[in-house]
Amino acid sequence: MSLIQVKNITKRFDDKLVLDNISLEIEEGNIFGLLGPNGAGKSTLINIMTGLLQGNGGDITIGGYSFKDNPLKVKEQIGLVPQEIALIESVSAYDNLEFFASLYGLKGKMLKERIDEALEITGLKDRRKEKVKKFSGGMKRRLNIAAAIMHHPRILIMDEPTVGVDPQSRNHIFEFTKRINRENKTTIIYTSHYMEEVEYLCDNLFIMDIGKEVAYGSKERVKAMVSDRSRVVLKLDNYKGELLLKLKSLQGVKECIEEEGLVKLKVEENTFELGRMLAVIEGYGSKIKGITFEEPTLEEVFLALTGKKLRD
């Protein structure tokens, strides 16, 4: 049985349908990417999963507990890293962590240990007594994460955790995410506008748009949905524009352009024949100095599936 089961979730705001019968399952120990352009319904789905909103239909079961029947048991298992820096700026980092940990019932020695651990993991131990308002954006982001992990949640929901952070803090967050997933087997639901982050971190994806499922499954499976559009990149010696026209006319070639001294072909895998391409190049007296085959990036997959860029 999957750790998280989202069954037929529907949500309306007045007459507007924001989530349309969404269903998905997430296995324990997964890093799960939730993707969609602005207005896709990601935040609404997360808000329902964390108990902030109530759906108009369907149910969510986490660790065997239904949200409808046992909301507090479900929430105990979740740690939320909100999109915003959800911290109290007028008090210290330690005071913030003490407060949020207490909300999960941590107290005494355990409370202190968990705070130390969270500060250690996020690299903020030396700044524990400083007021949060004095922190840099990156440090605040890290503390924002620390505040969500002290109760050792089975599920960590990270909603755009790297917005506005410097590269150093971003790498720190990546490392942390991988580490907590590897060491604690924490299941992570990760949303981001940065496709390279999702590509690097996630095992499985759920792409949604206008409240509906667009693609769902492992990263490879989702890519395979548009995999007929691979790319061949050639480094040629001694070629003319005529060759490019000939390559473009080959069966299975959708596009052929010259960019930064390289010849790039977008091809349909099913119909494209590599041998024919090599023969044409040889026939024109050109030499191949290098050849690479590229899979579509998630950015391209997303564009192909939704017709939008992720940051639209």
Partner 1 sequence: MKLKAFIKLLLKGLVKEAHIYIISFAIFPIVLSAMYGFFQKEMFNPSNEMSKIGIYIKDEDISSLSKGLSDYLCSDNMKQILEVNKDKEKAKFVVTIPKGYEESMHSSNNFQIKINQKEDKAEYSSAIISSIINKFNEGAHQQILIENKIKEMNLSDKEKEELFKKTKQKIDMTYGTNAIKNDVIPADKALTSFQYYSVSIFSFMFIVTVLSLVGGYYKDKETGIFNRIISSSLSKLQYFNYSLVTFFIFALIINTIYILAYRLTGLSFKGSPMLLILIIIAKSLFETSISGIVIAFFKQKKHAILFLQLFIMLAVTLGGAFVPMYRISSGIILKLSDYVPNALIINVFKNFLLYNSFNSVKGYLAIFVLMSIALYGISIMKIRLKWEG
Residues that bind partner 1 (CB under 8 A): 47, 50-54, 71-72, 75-76, 78, 80, 82-88, 90-91, 95, 98-100, 102-105, 107, 131, 147-148
Q: Contact 26/2 with Cβ under 8 angstroms?
A: yes
Tokens representing 297?
Answer: 């990036």
13/200 with CB nearer partner 1: 13
CB of 116 to partner 1, least distance (A): 18
37/82 with CB nearer partner 1: 82
CB of 150 to partner 1, least distance (A): 11
37/161 with CB nearer partner 1: 161
Q: Which residues contact 177 (CB under 8 A, 6 or more apart)?
A: 31, 158, 161, 188, 190, 201
CB of 124 to partner 1, least distance (A): 17
Contacts 24+ apart (CB under 8 A), 66-75: 75/50, 75/51
Tokens representing 152?
Answer: 């050792």
Q: Which residues contact 6 (CB under 8 A, 6 or more apart)?
A: 22, 23, 24, 25, 45, 49, 58, 60
Quote the strand ranges of 40-175, DSSP E: 57-62, 65-66, 78-81, 155-159
CB of 76 to partner 1, least distance (A): 5
CB of 4 to partner 1, least distance (A): 15
DSSP per-residue letters across 157-190 = EEESTTTT--HHHHHHHHHHHHHHHHHH--EEEE
61/306 with CB nearer partner 1: 61
Tokens representing 11?
Answer: 């949500």
84/220 with CB nearer partner 1: 84
CB of 94 to partner 1, least distance (A): 10
102/271 with CB nearer partner 1: 102
